Structure 1
Amino acid sequence: MEALTFGINCAPCIAHFIRDKNADRFCQQYLQAAQAVKDYHYVDDFIYSGDDYVEVGNIATQGGFHIRNWSSNSKEVLRILKSDSLLPEADEITATEKVLGLYWVPNSDVFTFICKFARLKRNVLDSDKTPTKRELLQVLMSMYVPHVFISCFTIELKILLFVDASELAYAAVCYLRIRQGERTYFSFVAFKAKVAPLSPLSKPKMELQAAVIGAKLSNRIQHNPSLPINSSCYWSDSKTVLKWLRMDP
């Protein structure tokens, strides 16, 4: 095929294959752009973060691509991209942008969540009538939460539902500690929570399950190519789990 036909089952696979094939073909000529195409693209959306506006501007203009609808939290980056006729007001930072289902506020560089629950037949949040489990499920499934940013809230709904009925849950959270000179910063990265299984587990075993998802979550974060992490530290308040982890398997 000389053209990509969208709508067929293999279209996403073909699109990603050709995207990576082109990146590999021109990686010697445009190294930064090739890495950006392979590591920071999701279908036709490109999301990138850099140390300075010159670096970001160079990546955005490399490789001959004409990407539309740029947005940034940096006025300097937007001025570099202003030469694109499709971006007439590139020096203006917009109020809110939608990024892969999340709402991003460029001015403050934070993610927000807007829960409209438009598909619900009635307003279950303000109604005096107790919502049904079906309505609770609709509320839960209508919230798109990549990296489970708000799992600390949605886990309460999961505990109330059908096959997930339980009074307990277990969770793990990852923070990033950044040292710059004399200053140290802490930043929330990701959160993971699960409802306890229906078959009863002892509290130490639940704590061990929390340690497992914590290790998996940390491992996934450390595989980010643009985030070199020098060391990692794992915390658990369960002395039993800490002793289990030091025992012979």
Structure 2
Amino acid sequence: MYRMINVVEQDQPLQRILWRESVDERLRTYQLTTVTYGTSSAPYLATRSLKRCAEEGEKTHPVAANVIKNNFYVDDMLAGVHTVDEGKKLFSDVQSLLGSAGFNLRKWHSNQQEILNNIPSYLRDKRDVLNIDTTSTVKTLGLTWEPDSDLFWFKMPRWKQTSPITQRVVLSEAARLFDPYGLAGPVIVQAKMFLQVLWKGKYSWDEPLSMTLQSQWLEFRNSLDRLDAVSVPRWIAFGKNVISCELHGFCDASERAYGAVIYLRSVTREGQVSHRLVMAKSKVAPLEDLNKRKKKLSIPRLELSSALVLAHLYETVAASIQIPTNAYFWTDSTIVKCWLSSHPSRWQVFVANRVSEIQHISR
């Protein structure tokens, strides 16, 4: 992707490198003319170029331009349509629009064989055959997508048998649990809380943990294999046959963590009601810092923090699904409800700032 984007001529001298095959050769100077891996601006330039391509094609390819603007994660596109004909047109328009800028999109996949038949074989994902079977999977944003069933699955990484277990090992293994939608939040937050225990115990990076802590981490790591049996529908049940949609967000907190989750409730013309998990997010409660006189947060304040997480989550989801919906926010904290029902100026700074932001987002 980077190599398809030219750098303006006056900036190319900033991308010069020195090179020689051996110490006996004379140094040669090369000047890179395209966006280069490793430079801090490269990800932005690539993403911005993609959006510029969409902006220039809004009049000729409006649907494709909208997908390119809103359904790309760097160079990966994840989008959906309601009919096979729409899918065929989307493929054609996206290829045409991106191709005009030198971006030749490959590794196409679909859960509809008829759409795949319309795509040249060299543009399909090489890991799949023409007839998709039940074991054919594609990795998408850290999740595994099974086109045949149209489900997201969790695939746990293969763990190395490391001994002894240190804080560095725990952090390395916890970082491998990539869950962009927060679908496994209740599980992964346990890894975050375990890291907090290590920070509180002031372990150095390579100091072996106590046998008790090592056993706890191994037990947690082994239990993750059960996530392989968990699946989540990719389609969140809204389309042309749906007459009403509602977003329902829930937030909660404990002494050690807090979080929020959003579901989509849809009703079809036939009266069929569907509920789908859309997105979730979890955070650990901040630790008490005696040196900085930072006290541990009370449960009501943690509940308010979870409400703020929910507000931000709603903001993300509402911008992504781009359909008219009513939104409902749920909390079991009477104190939080009282804070949110009043003007922020009534409260102290911590509460006032969060109440103000929540009210602004959810108005």
Could you say which TM-score interval applies, normalised by the shorter chain? 0.7 to 0.9
Where do 1:1-249 residues align within 5 Å? 1=7, 4-9=34-39, 10-62=41-93, 63-64=95-96, 65=99, 66-81=104-119, 83-87=120-124, 89-92=129-132, 95-118=136-159, 120-122=160-162, 131-161=165-195, 162-163=198-199, 168-181=256-269, 182-198=271-287, 199-224=295-320, 226-249=321-344
Residue 162 of structure 2 aligns to a residue whose secondary structure is coil
Greater Cα offset, 67-76 or 12-21: 12-21
CA distance in structure 2 between the aligned counterparts of 1:170 and 1:8, rounded to whole angstroms: 36
- Kindly indicate whether the alpha-carbon contact (under 8 Å) linking 1:75 and 1:91 is maintained by their aligned counterparts in 2: yes
Residue 146 of structure 1 aligns to a residue whose secondary structure is coil
Q: Which residue of 1 is the match for residue 208 of structure 2?
A: none
Greater Cα offset, 15-24 or 83-92: 83-92
* Structure 2 unmatched ranges of 5 or more: 1-6, 9-32, 202-253, 288-294, 345-363
Distance 1:205 1:30, change over 3 A: same
- Kindly indicate whether the alpha-carbon contact (under 8 Å) linking 1:5 and 1:11 is maintained by their aligned counterparts in 2: yes
Residue 143 of structure 1 aligns to a residue whose secondary structure is coil
Residue 145 of structure 1 aligns to a residue whose secondary structure is coil
- Kindly indicate whether the alpha-carbon contact (under 8 Å) linking 1:164 and 1:197 is maintained by their aligned counterparts in 2: no
Q: Which has the larger radius of gyration?
A: 2
CA distance in structure 2 between the aligned counterparts of 1:106 and 1:214, rounded to whole angstroms: 30
CA distance in structure 1 between the aligned counterparts of 2:112 and 2:106, rounded to whole angstroms: 17
- Alpha-carbon displacement from aligned partner over 1:201-234 (angstroms, at most 9, x marks no partner): 222112111111111111111111x431421000
- Kindly indicate whether the alpha-carbon contact (under 8 Å) linking 1:207 and 1:241 is maintained by their aligned counterparts in 2: yes
CA distance in structure 2 between the aligned counterparts of 1:91 and 1:27, rounded to whole angstroms: 34
- Alpha-carbon displacement from aligned partner over 1:158-189 (angstroms, at most 9, x marks no partner): 11223478962111111111111201100001
- Alpha-carbon displacement from aligned partner over 1:116-163 (angstroms, at most 9, x marks no partner): 244x4428xxxxx8x444433222111111122211001112112234
- Kindly indicate whether the alpha-carbon contact (under 8 Å) linking 2:36 and 2:42 is maintained by their aligned counterparts in 1: yes
Q: Deviation of residue 84 (structure 1)? A: 4.7
With normalisation by structure 1, the TM-score equals: 0.85
Percentage of pairs with the same residue: 28
- Alpha-carbon displacement from aligned partner over 1:2-54 (angstroms, at most 9, x marks no partner): 76343251332222232222222222111112222222222322211111121
Distance 1:186 1:41, change over 3 A: same
Residue 304 of structure 2 aligns to a residue whose secondary structure is helix
* Structure 1 unmatched ranges of 5 or more: 124-128
Greater Cα offset, 200-209 or 63-72: 63-72
With normalisation by structure 2, the TM-score equals: 0.60
Greater Cα offset, 33-42 or 169-178: 33-42
Q: Which residue of 1 is the match for residue 228 of structure 2?
A: none
CA distance in structure 1 between the aligned counterparts of 2:193 and 2:314, rounded to whole angstroms: 25
Distance 1:137 1:107, change over 3 A: same
Distance 1:14 1:136, change over 3 A: closer
Greater Cα offset, 212-221 or 135-144: 135-144
Q: Which residue of 2 is the match for residue 126 of structure 1?
A: none
Residue 136 of structure 2 aligns to a residue whose secondary structure is coil
- Kindly indicate whether the alpha-carbon contact (under 8 Å) linking 1:57 and 1:77 is maintained by their aligned counterparts in 2: yes
Q: Root-mean-square deviation (CA), in Å?
A: 2.5
